[in-house]
Structure formats: structure tokens, C-alpha cells
Amino acid sequence: MASYEYVSPEQLAGFDKYKYSAVDTNPLSLYVMHPFWNTVVKVFPTWLAPNLITFSGFLLVVFNFLLMAYFDPDFYASAPGHKHVPDWVWIVVGILNFMAYTLDGVDGKQARRTNSSTPLGELFDHGLDSWSCVYFVVTVYSIFGRGSSGVSVFVLYLLLWVVLFSFILSHWEKYNTGILFLPWGYDISQVTISFVYIVTAVVGVEAWYEPFLFNFLYRDLFTAMIIGCALCVTLPMSLLNFFSMDPPVTFRYFRVTP
């Protein structure tokens, strides 16, 4: 394993020619978050390394996970008849989640602002994002937890794979098109969940026991949103972007002669 070449010389040579290319069409990002991030990034001194901003945001996600693991180690804290997570914890988690999301949004801007964008920085950023997929979903799970009013652990396992699938799909898309089409679901989910954490602190977890519509519970809405976003938004958009590129991109996969 020590002698195995994970990156070929040809791939290493491509690092010198690499340029970051991303497309963000989400209205929430374009008209709300990007103007906000453009203001926030000006607060940071130019000597602050973008990778440090990236790592700081990741640490906030990990801290949220550890904090919730302390107060809800078995995922039963939100179930009826169990000791619930203190309200202040939900507020802290909500604020820190939004802060982590903000840092994830400004690290690239800081890199371009200081002319320090590198392929390694992008790899570091997205590598930590891949880990955050797990911490983020498991932390959100504590809102509903297990028990009669919650979500089963098996469903949690499936949701983890759905989120990871969406993450991998977007990078498969970039690998083949050369452009990172930022998924709409990421921004929407981060803002929504940060808000839901705060709402939980105000109304209590008991509010999520009630049906959302008819016999459709909030836990079902939570599950449907994650799966629906992946299958009805992320997957179709990725395939559309893939097949909309120049023919050589698809030919190397399906070996169709032009």
C-alpha cells in the first residue's frame, strides 16, 4: 500500500492548470446568502487562511454533534416520557449550525479575496463537507429521535445514505463536466434546520408529535423532504447537467461514436 500511487503524474500535472468553476442558481443563495456572505467576509483580516475558516466551521458541526450526543446519547430524549434536551441546547445548536454554514460559505470568498485559491484548499473543504454529512444528519435526528413519535434507526441509516448519495452525485457531476453545480438542497436545508432548532427551543419537542396534515406527521415530512430533494431535485438536475455538456463527456461513458 505504501508504494501505491493514488495520483498519477498526469493527474499531478493537471493541478497547475486547474481552475475552480462553480455555478449556483439557487435564489436563496443568489439574493440572500451571497450578499450576506460578501458582507461577512470583509470582517476577516486578509492574513486569515481560508483553510482555517473551513476547519473552524467543521469544528462547530462536530461540537454540535458532541453536545447533542451528551444530552441525547440514545436518541430517546425527544420521545414521550423521557427527559428532554434543555431548551438552551437547541438555541446553541441552531446558532452554531448557522455559523458553520456561514463559514462554509465565506471560506471560498476569502480564498479568492486573498488570491490563495488552490486545488488542495478545495479538496480540504469538500473532504470535511463529506464528514459533515454524517454529523449534520445525526444531530438533526435528535429533534425527533426514536420511540413512538420518532424515526427508526433503520430510516436514519437510509437517510444518511441518501445525503451521502447527493454529495457524491454532485462531485461525480463535477468530475465529468468540470463544473460544480451547487445543489439547491444544501442551502435550503441549512437555513431550514437552523430555524427548526430555534423553534424547537420555543415550542418544545412535543410540538413535533402532532400531525402536520391529516395523519402525516412532522417526522414523515422530515423524511420525505430529504428523500424527495435527492430524487426529485438533485438527481434530475445532475443528469440534466451531465447530458447537456459537449458530446465527448458522455461518449467516454457510453462509447458512442460521434
Quickly list DSSP for 67-134: HHHHH-TTS-TTSTTSPPPPHHHHHHHHHHHHHHHHHHHHHHHHHHHTT---HHHHHHHHHHHHHHHH
Strands 211-213 and 216-217: antiparallel
State the residue range of the domain holding 95: 21-244
Question: Average pLDDT for residues 122-144, to the nearest whole number?
Answer: 92
d(CA 66, CA 113): 33
Q: Are 201 and 90 in contact (CB under 8 A)?
A: yes
Residue 138 pLDDT exceeds 90: yes
- Location of C-alpha cell 459533515: 132
Residue 191 Cα distances to 57, 112, 164, 195, 218, angstroms: 15, 24, 19, 6, 17
pLDDT recorded at residue 200: 94
pLDDT recorded at residue 151: 87
pLDDT recorded at residue 71: 96
Residue 257 pLDDT exceeds 50: no
Q: Amino acid identity, residue 159?
A: L
pLDDT in tens, 55-80: 999 999 999 999 999 999 999 999 88
Query: Collapsing DSSP states into helix, strand and coil, what is residue 4?
Result: coil
pLDDT recorded at residue 194: 95
- Give the domain CATH number at 25: 1.20.120.1760
Residue 137 pLDDT exceeds 80: yes
Question: Average pLDDT for residues 15-34, to the nearest whole number?
Answer: 84
pLDDT in tens, 201-231: 999 998 888 888 888 888 888 888 889 888 8
Angle between helices 153-177 and 218-229 (to 10 degrees): 20
Sorting pLDDT into bands at 50, 70 and 90, what band is 255?
A: very low
Residue 113 pLDDT exceeds 50: yes
DSSP 216: E
8 falls within a domain: no
Query: Collapsing DSSP states into helix, strand and coil, what is residue 233?
Result: helix
d(CA 86, CA 71): 8
Residue 150 pLDDT exceeds 70: yes
258 falls within a domain: no
d(CA 131, CA 102): 17
Per the structure, how many domains does the chain have? 1
2 falls within a domain: no
Rounded (10°) CA dihedral 33, 36, 38, 42: -150
More confident position, 257 or 168: 168
65 falls within a domain: yes
pLDDT in tens, 172-184: 888 888 888 888 8
More confident position, 246 or 142: 142
Catalytic one among 34, 84, 126, 171? 126
Q: Are 153 and 146 in contact (CB under 8 A)?
A: yes
Has 34 been annotated as catalytic? Answer: no
Sorting pLDDT into bands at 50, 70 and 90, what band is 253?
A: very low
Q: Are 38 and 31 in contact (CB under 8 A)?
A: no
189 falls within a domain: yes
pLDDT recorded at residue 2: 59
30 falls within a domain: yes
DSSP 49: -
Mean pLDDT rounded to a whole number for the chain: 87
